[in-house]
Amino acid sequence: MSRAQSAPAQTIAFSEAQVAEVRRLQSLYPDPRGALLPVLHMAQETFGHISLEVEDYVATLFELSPAHVHEVVTFYTLYFCEQPGRHIVAVCHNLSCHLAGAPKIIAHLKQKLGIEPGETTEDGRVTFLTVECLCACEAAPMAQVDDRYELNLTPEKIDRLLGELR
Amino acid sequence: MAEIVLMRNFSNAESHTLAAYRAGSGYAAWDKARTMEPAAITEEVKKANLRGLGGAGFPTGAKWSFIPKNHTGPVYLVVNADEGEPGTFKDRYLLERDPHALIEGMLIAARAIRSAKGFVYIRGEYVQPWRRFSGAVKEAYDTGLLGQGFDVVVHRGAGAYICGEETGLLSSLEGKKGWPKIKPPFPAIKGAFGQPTIVNNVETLCCVPPIVARGAEWFAGLGTKTQGGTRMYSVSGRVKKPAVYEAPVSITLRQLIEMAGGVSGTGRLKAVVPGGGSAAILTADEIDVTMDVDGLKNVGSMIGSAGVIVMDDSVSIPEALMVLARFYAHESCGQCTPCRESTGWIYKMVHRIVEGRGHKDDLDTILDVAKRGAGTTICAFYDGAVGPYISYIEKFRGEFEALIPHA
């Protein structure tokens, strides 16, 4: 999907309370633009993903160029430029998880979800990612499912976790 | 049984609360430090031989003393809680299980460097540690520990390994992509938002309250001549009991593997990564080394973040290097040409070797590219990648050659 096609129909804007929160966050930093990452997190929670329109809107809140905001959004892995699934399953494929069987977990997920890492299921339920070290190597293999760390994964545990995602 | 300093509160299920922390004489060191002259605090930390525990191992007290004496503007204390070195998970435990130890360490450090504001940069994926730490910060504000001369801002990252590099972290904190900055000027002279800044790792700051409370001599005596204290070793890979273990820095790698229950899998050790993914690999007969900064430097590796990854003799070293090479290719920030180009190129070569499509001269090309690029970039990221590239190939060359047709 091109960025232009992903434009949502509604106007992109925070509520009054959210704008107040943006101003509070900006006041915490010697230069208000220090709050850019936290505000982008807020924007993603609010709008689902960070479209070009969201970037433009955030740029106006910071009196920054849209290009600066775009550069920041695309630098970091946790900001999504396109709408991800309702749940994100991010499997660590770094060394400790690899040694503990991450390739098997990844193969199992590919087969169960019918998609490759980086893709979203057709029903929009799950975005499947492989990611670098999440620093829970003592419980490898592991994954982050939305906000939670899921540890000591097995194919059976993956099945149970997937069953819980609506 | 060796002394437990950093993990002393972990067994208490309520260890993250102010009540539990205070019950274990929490904030007593801060009460003492606030009666001390700032320079005296720095002197104590110097005498304790505390070395940075995030990766570089720089003497903490010396770093603090670099803040210009005649500076009259703001000074910032920045906590690097952007843990991301492959094989490391200690700071996650500290943030979740002893957040007040970090706040107390920050209060003391801030007094030493005359800072009125601290930023804690927590990696974006660490949602639970962020919630726990933010809860502790709120408790500290509610009880007047914070907000009376020292403020703390908790800042979430957004997914980028390079932001664990201190100047990349500062760029990110300033609302930019996390590109490292050329040093000098060092952050102590010109850091966050252009002001003198000290960037310290979570675990490093958690050592400060015990140093103030029990004295520099006691802390220095726990370690070696050049590094005081204990530290938290993250042990994972093929060991029977992967976990974080606290031990004096004079412990040997062999003893540490025994602490973690010994080698699992085949039970026969092949190799160990001693200090996080970026440390040069050690073979099974190199594990009598002490796990302090200088001990590992002497054998051509580094203690780094003390992430220990153990490999039994069923592990394919070329495959392990491929996994790490993929990591470096993905995480290179793209600013410096040698790093941006070499990490991608080397990953492709190691990948095709593992798939049985390697070219006869690939190994020499990788070594040549790695050695030429080392030391030519703005930050230490590429040097960190070069450690594994060279050591895995030089120490296990036969295993790579066996995968290359007509090698």
- Interior angle at CA B323, CA A145 and CA A146, nearest 5: 10
- Distance from A154 to chain B by nearest Cα, in Å? 16
CA nearest B236: which of A104, A151, A139, A131? A139
Average pLDDT over residues A72-94: 98
Closest to B92 (Cβ–Cβ): which among A75, A135, A144?
Answer: A135
Terminus-to-terminus CA distance in chain A, angstroms? Answer: 24
- Report the percentage of chain B scoring pLDDT > 70: 100
The two three-digit tokens of residue B60, written as one number: 């903490």
Mean pLDDT, chain B, integer = 97
Are the beta carbons of A96 and B237 separated by less than 8 Å? yes
CA distance B387 to chain A (A): 15
Residues forming a β-bridge with B269: B312
In the DSSP assignment, the letter for residue B280 is P
Q: Name the residue among B123, B236, B326 with its Cβ closest to that of A96.
A: B236
Chain segment B16-75, per-residue pLDDT in tens: 999 999 999 999 999 999 999 999 999 999 999 999 999 999 999 999 999 999 999 999
Q: Which is it for the CA torsion A149, A151, A154, A156, positive or negative?
A: negative
Residue A3 — pLDDT band, cuts 50, 70, 90? very low
B193 vs A2: which has the higher pLDDT: B193
What was the pLDDT predicted at A9? 52
Distances, alpha carbon B296 to alpha carbons A16, A158, B130, B144, in Å: 55, 39, 32, 43
Contact B328, B321 (CB under 8 A): no
Beta-bridged to residue B119, according to DSSP, are B78, B153
Give the pLDDT confidence score for residue A39 in this predicted structure: 98
Instruction: Give how far A102 is from chain B: nearest CA, Å.
Output: 11
d(CA B119, CA B192): 10
* Cβ–Cβ below 8 Å for A78 and B128: no
Q: Do B86 and A94 touch (CB under 8 A)?
A: yes
**Bond prior to B184 in cis (omega within 30° of 0):** yes
pLDDT tens digit string along B208-247?
999 999 999 999 999 999 999 999 999 999 999 999 999 9
pLDDT in tens, B362-382: 999 999 999 999 999 999 999
B304-363 residue pLDDT tens: 999 999 999 999 999 999 999 999 999 999 999 999 999 999 999 999 999 999 999 999
CA distance B220 to B227: 7
Half-sphere exposure of B112 toward its Cβ, with a 13 Å CA cutoff? 30
Give me the residue from A34, A41, A148 closest to B175, CB to CB. Answer: A34
| Nearest CB partner across the interface for B236, out of A33, A137, A147 | A137
Predicted confidence (pLDDT) at residue B407 exceeds the cutoff of 90: no
Are the beta carbons of A99 and B311 separated by less than 8 Å? yes
Contact B158, B118 (CB under 8 A): no
* Mean pLDDT along residues A130-148: 98
Confidence (pLDDT) at A30: 98
Cα nearest neighbour of A133 on chain B:
B86
User: Domain B231-312 carries which CATH code?
Assistant: 3.10.20.600
Domain ranges of chain B: 18-222, 231-312, 318-401
Domain A16-75: give its CATH code: 1.10.10
How much is the average pLDDT of B79-108? 98
Given a cut of 50, whether residue A1 has pLDDT beyond it is no
Nearest chain A Cα to B74, which residue?
A30
Taking any CB pair shorter than 8 Å as contact, residues of chain A touching chain B are: 28-31, 33-38, 40-41, 62, 64, 68, 71-72, 75-79, 93-96, 98-100, 131-140, 144, 147-149
What distance in Å separates the CA atoms of residue B173 and residue A70, rounded to the nearest whole number? 16
Characterise B406 by phi-psi region: left (phi > 0), alpha (psi -120 to 50), beta (else).
left
Confidence of residue B2 (pLDDT cuts 50, 70, 90): confident
Q: Which of A34, A100, A147 sits opposite B127 (nearest CB)?
A: A147
Structure confidence at residue A11 (pLDDT): 85
A28 contact residues in B (CB cutoff 8 A) = 153
| Secondary structure (3-state) at B235 | strand
What fold does the segment set B318-401 form as a domain? de novo design (two linked rop proteins) (1.20.1440)
CATH 1.10.10 segments of chain A: 16-75
Task: Measure in Å the smallest separation between the Cα of A30 and chain B Cα atoms.
Answer: 7
Fold of the CATH domain A87-164: Glutaredoxin (3.40.30)
Q: Test A95 with B87 for CB contact under 8 angstroms.
A: yes
| Chain-chain contact of A132 with B160 (C-beta, under 8 angstroms) | no
**Helix runs in B81-173, H state only:** 90-97, 99-113, 127-142, 166-173
Residue A160: CB atoms within 10 A of its CB come to 11
pTM of the model as a whole: 0.96
- Burial annotation B93-106 (CB, 10 A radius, 16+ → b, else e): bbbbbbbbbbbbbb
Question: In chain A, which segments carry CATH 3.40.30.10?
Answer: 87-164
Which chain A residues contact residue B73 at CB under 8 A? none
Q: How far apart are CA B306 and CA B235, in angstroms?
A: 8
Distance from CA of A59 to the nearest CA of B (A): 12
CA distance A28 to chain B (A): 7
Rounded Cα distance between B106 and B17, Å, is 17
Query: Residue B88 is nearest to which of A35, A72, A135, comparing CB atoms?
Result: A135
pLDDT at B235: 98
Three-state SS across B251-278? Answer: CEHHHHHHHCCCECCCCCEEEEECCCCC
CA–CA–CA angle B397, B400, B403 (5° rounding): 150
Class of domain B18-222: alpha beta
